[in-house]
Amino acid sequence: MNTEKSGKGPVQVPGKASLRRELLAARALLSTEDVTAAATALAAGALALPELADARTVAAYVSVGREPGTRALLDALRERGVRVLLPVLLADNDLDWAVYGGAEHLLPAGRGLLEPDGDRLGPAAVVEADAVLLPGLAVDGAGMRLGRGGGSYDRVLARLSATGADPALIVLLYANEVVARVPVEPHDHPVDAVVTPAGARRFTA
């Protein structure tokens, strides 16, 4: 779910913009078969993480296009009895949340996104999550995540920090998207783990 835009428009940071272009160009070359195969491996790898194995509530997102696939993972979590929260993009680019009720309860929304049709729980619902799956384009060896350009998920992370919530932060990526270094800004926050089709990697502070 590519929703990282601020009310003032995307923020272009030197280094980040070129890295985003490079990674998006690589994703554009993936075939449908590549994306499907990767999604299966990502679900298996993510489900093996203790952070998800023990979670009762997981905040996630619906992948679109050639993003690393999340739909198999969403269904598997739901079948486990996990309460899965999905984002609903608000007019100011903040995120509301609703419970995932299955693929048949996803509706087309703006910007090519899919959103749940359930009752809106409010932006603060994310603080109830034991784990949060974050969309991204890359992560580096320190766990720093490169997002789409600044806004929606920065607000989510700030909300978690402000309330003292400390869920596991997990990003799903393709193997080539684990890079040597991501350009960092003061507000950027490291993730706890990355899952690629090749396996999972954890980061320490």
Residue 125 counted as an annotated binding residue = no
Residue 193 counted as an annotated binding residue = no
Residue 8 counted as an annotated binding residue = no
Task: Yes or no: say if 108 and 76 are a contact pair by the CB < 8 Å rule.
Answer: no
DSSP state string for 56-103? SEEE-----TTSPP-HHHHHHHHHTT-EEEEEEE-TTS-EEEEE---G
Residue 21 counted as an annotated binding residue = no
Distance CA 173, CA 42 (A): 8
Residue 152 counted as an annotated binding residue = yes
Residue 45 counted as an annotated binding residue = no
Distance CA 126, CA 114 (A): 18
Residue 149 counted as an annotated binding residue = yes
Show the beta-strand stretches assigned E in the chain. 57-59, 83-89, 95-99, 106-108, 114-116, 131-134, 138-139, 145-146, 168-172, 193-196, 199-202
Residue 19 counted as an annotated binding residue = yes
Q: What SS3 state is found at 131?
A: strand
Annotated binding site for substrate: 62, 67
Annotated binding site: 16-20, 62, 67, 145-153
Annotated binding site for ATP: 16-20, 145-153
